[in-house]
Amino acid sequence: MIKSEIKKPDTFLYFGYGSNMLSFRIHMLNPSAEFVTIGWAENYRVDFIRYSSFWGGPTATLVPTANAHAWGVMWRLHNDDLAHLDLQEGVEVKKYFVTHLLVHTTHMGDFTCRCYIQRINPLPRADNEEIPIERWPSWALKEIMIYGAKEHGLPDYYIKNLKRLKHNGEEGAIRTWCLLDRYARNMPCECRVPGRIPREPLKLDNKLKKDFRWTTEIIEQKD
């Protein structure tokens, strides 16, 4: 993709640095999202604050930090998904605020992208300062970020830094979603078990999946 092809009418560019680096995650609520490229924001670092019951730990944010940088994924979304993205990030309930960051790319130059930063940010810390446990992400959020980074080919050193993050061991509601999605796509086991009463396999239709997505939206708004 060349630079002139990136911007299209009725679309906007979005920089995801947390769970929305993973394609499956962002497409849950924003089906129009198209991968553009990877890039980084200068003088920012990724940190975690404000507990989320959905994730089972604090959620990601960008903290202004001199001489630091945060890698992420640049997406192109249709304007119709703008409200969905704001809802997912909790803009209306004042969890995150909208900003526009200059995102640098390796081969295509710089782009101004929509981005979300928490309204309550952690205090500055030194490189070797111990991170308090309340700012450790959940196991689920850490794994989703690593999967997203690997999926889109973020630099190896950055992926190693993500792997070094301490986590609180919580799986959050993401485990429930993964189980539901797996069950919807794969037939359940029909092994013959002594004493088992034969039943028709449960079918998880698209309506139920949509209801679950709506439930996750409500949970995130309440966090």
Is 217 an annotated catalytic residue?
no
Catalytic residue among 5, 34, 42, 89: 89
> To the nearest 10°, the Cα dihedral for 170, 174, 180, 181?
-130
189: Cα within 13 Å, side-chain hemisphere:
4
**Three-class SS of the chain:** CCHHHCCCCCEEEEEECCHHHCHHHHHHHCCCCEEEEEEEEEEEEEEEEEEECCCCEEEEEEEEEEEEEEEEEEEEEEHHHHHHHHHHHCCCCCCEEEEEEEEECCCCCEEEEEEEEECCCCCCCCCCCCCCHHHCCCHHHHHHHHHHHHHCCCCHHHHHHHHHCCCCCCCCCHHHHHHHHHHHHCCCCCCCCCCCCCCCCCCCCHHHHHHHHHHHHHHHHHC
Q: What residues are labeled active site? A: 89
